[in-house]
């Protein structure tokens, strides 16, 4: 059986609900987002998962842990801290217990695109104030950054090295990997694994709380069902 990469955008957040630019502002899921995460878990329930990755933002982490809450393996998702006091103080001393966890790794490299001075602003108000053309460039273009923020091109420069260095080794060992992250960090990964061009990625939609499945075959990623 081929190893599987599962990409999952977080469920609806409170600021998604309010139509605000969020970026790195650390807001929780809405009630709808909680239900979306749990529903996503039904699609993952019987799929073995050897490792999971998420961003440092709570909406992505909430989605991951809720989705794995009722995994049929009975394994518990555990966030493994790689720095500071938690690295040593959160050590698991039972080998049997270690065998019954799904290791979860969190990194800022998988965080959402940082929207700079748009963060916290209402999207419709920004569109009215600056015009639809500039609004679309700030929001969806590949290489135009919002004021004091990141473009998708800049986001890709941090997500892809991390993906190659940290995620790929698990897939090469024939292990299934889940990534719970954000619309733009995941778009940059899809751009890489599907070899999309700048114009193609602009049109790419990442649905909230709905996992995408890719088989890793002979060094290539094949979207399941494609």
Query: Pick the catalytic residue: 10, 71, 109, 182?
Result: 10
Query: Taking the alpha carbons of 96, 54, 39, 2 in that order, is the dihedral positive or negative?
Result: negative
Q: Is-catalytic flag, 215?
A: no
Q: Is-catalytic flag, 10?
A: yes
Q: What is the C-alpha separation between 73 and 178, in angstroms, rounded?
A: 15
Calculate the alpha carbon distances from 82 to 8, 54, 89, 90, 131 in Å.
23, 14, 11, 10, 44
Q: Is 96 helix (H, G, I), strand (E, B) or coil?
A: helix
Query: Pick the catalytic residue: 36, 112, 150, 182?
Result: 112
Calculate the alpha carbon distances from 22 to 17, 85, 95, 153, 174 in Å.
11, 30, 40, 18, 35
Residues annotated as part of the active site: 10, 112
């Amino acid at each position: 059986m081929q190893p599987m990469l599962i990409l999952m955008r977080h469920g609806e957040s409170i600021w998604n609900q309010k139509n605000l630019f969020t970026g790195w502002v650390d807001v929780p899921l809405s009630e709808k987002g909680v239900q979306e995460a749990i529903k996503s878990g039904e699609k993952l329930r019987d799929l073995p998962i050897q490792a999971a990755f998420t961003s440092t933002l709570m909406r992505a982490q909430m989605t991951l842990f809720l989705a794995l809450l009722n995994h049929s393996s009975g394994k518990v998702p555990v966030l493994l801290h790689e720095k500071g006091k938690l690295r040593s103080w959160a050590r698991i001393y039972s080998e049997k217990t270690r065998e019954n966890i799904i290791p979860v790794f969190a990194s800022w490299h998988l965080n959402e695109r940082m929207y700079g001075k748009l963060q916290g602003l209402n999207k419709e108000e920004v569109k009215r104030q600056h015009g639809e053309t500039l609004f679309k460039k700030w929001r969806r273009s590949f290489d135009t950054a919002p004021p004091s923020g990141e473009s998708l091109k800049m986001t890709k420069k941090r997500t892809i090295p991390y993906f190659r260095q940290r995620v790929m080794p698990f897939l090469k060992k024939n292990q299934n990997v889940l990534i719970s992250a954000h619309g733009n960090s995941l778009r940059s990964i899809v751009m890489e694994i599907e070899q999309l061009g700048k114009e193609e990625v602009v049109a790419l939609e990442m649905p909230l709380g709905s996992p995408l499945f890719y088989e890793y075959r002979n060094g290539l990623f094949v979207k399941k069902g494609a």
